[in-house]
Chains A and B, each alone.
Chain A
Amino acid sequence: MKKRKNIKKKGSSFSKLSLFTKPGMKFFKPCPLSGKDAPILDYKNIRLLKKYLSESGRILPSRITFVSQKKQKELAKSIKRARLLALI
């Protein structure tokens, strides 16, 4: 059983992405929220926050949006603030 589980995990990581990339290449994209001309991350900037929400209003995981770990924490905080004020 253990061996089977391991095989499944290896296959599932980036399985969808690997369809569109060449085999053997690592899939990498820079973080859209960090860098020199990054947009202002704030709970009032609703247009920006809506890009990182699913259709039903849930926060998208960073493995899909390629947001860095540090910025993902800030993003989650500002989305929750906007939800409290009924802006999103």
Chain B
Amino acid sequence: MNCYEHTFITKQDLSVDQNKSVINKYSEIINKNSGKILKVEEWGLKNLTHKIKNNKKGFYFHIKFEGVGETIDELEKAANIDENLIRYLSVKVKKHDLETNFFEKREG
């Protein structure tokens, strides 16, 4: 089993329920293809530093999970077709860091 991180940006005009269904869709794909989700982070609505496909803002979601190479293949296959997504990035890491969240410390 390998450790992976998957980040994706959804469109600005989606409602809360639509965003939830997007997360459920991708977590199902991970669970079906011999993967195991460890943590899901929501970074919220953020300004994009440059325009992507004529979007200025987007909702950021971040999933940390364990899986095999086929899990990533299925994830990216689904993400390429999806119209709600602006962009995604999946990264392989050596070890998961579940404690630090770089986007929640703003309150302090």
Binding site for B on A (CB under 8 A): 40, 42-47, 81, 84-88
Contact = CB atoms under 8 A, between A and B. Distances in A.
**Chain A: interface secondary structure?**
loop
A88 B100 CA distance: 19
Given A84-B89, A85-B87, A44 B103 contact: yes
Given A45-B102, A46-B102, A81-B89, A86 B49 contact: yes
A84 to B, nearest CB: 6
Contacts of B9: 85-86
B97 interface: yes
A62 B8 CA distance: 31
Given A40-B97, A40-B100, A44-B102, A85 B7 contact: yes
Contacts, number: 29
A86 B91 contact: no
A49 B58 CA distance: 21
A17 to B, nearest CB: 32
A86 B91 CA distance: 16
4 A-B pairs with the lowest CB-CB distances in the bound complex, closest first:
A86-B48, A44-B102, A86-B49, A45-B102
Nearest to B86: A86
B52 interface: yes
Contacts of B52: 86
Interface in B53-75: 58, 60, 62
A47 B97 CA distance: 18
B50 interface: yes
B89 A88 contact: no
A81 B48 CA distance: 14
